[in-house]
Chain A
Amino acid sequence: DTGVSQDPRHKITKRGQNVTFRCDPISEHNRLYWYRQTLGQGPEFLTYFQNEAQLEKSRLLSDRFSAERPKGSFSTLEIQRTEQGDSAMYLCASSLISGGQYNEQFFGPGTRLTVL
Chain B
Amino acid sequence: GQQVMQIPQYQHVQEGEDFTTYCNSSTTLSNIQWYKQRPGGHPVFLIQLVKSGEVKKQKRLTFQFGEAKKNSSLHITATQTTDVGTYFCARGATDSWGKLQFGAGTQVVVTP
Contacts and interface: CB of A to CB of B under 8 A. Distances in A.
A106 interface: yes
A8 interface: no
Interface on chain B toward A: helix, strand, loop, or mixed SS? loop
Contacts of A43: 43, 88, 100, 102
Contacts of B107: 40
B99 interface: yes
A42 B104 contact: yes
A102 B97 contact: yes
Interface stretch (A67-75, A77-85, A107-115): A107-115
A93 B97 CA distance: 15
B104 A107 contact: no
Interface residues of A, number: 28
B90 interface: yes
Interface residues of B, number: 24
A56 B99 contact: yes
A104 B92 CA distance: 11
Tell me which of B43, B102, B104 has the highest count of chain A C-beta atoms within 10 A of its own C-beta: B43
A41 to B, nearest CB: 6
A103 B43 CA distance: 14
A48 B95 CA distance: 14
Given A91-B42, A104-B48, A42 B99 contact: no
Interface of B: 30-31, 33, 41-45, 48, 88, 90, 92-93, 96-105, 107
Interface of A: 31, 33, 35, 40-45, 48, 50, 55-56, 91, 93, 95, 97, 100-110
17 contacts: A33-B99, A35-B102, A41-B104, A43-B102, A45-B100, A45-B101, A91-B42, A91-B43, A95-B98, A102-B33, A102-B98, A102-B100, A104-B45, A105-B33, A105-B100, A107-B43, A107-B44
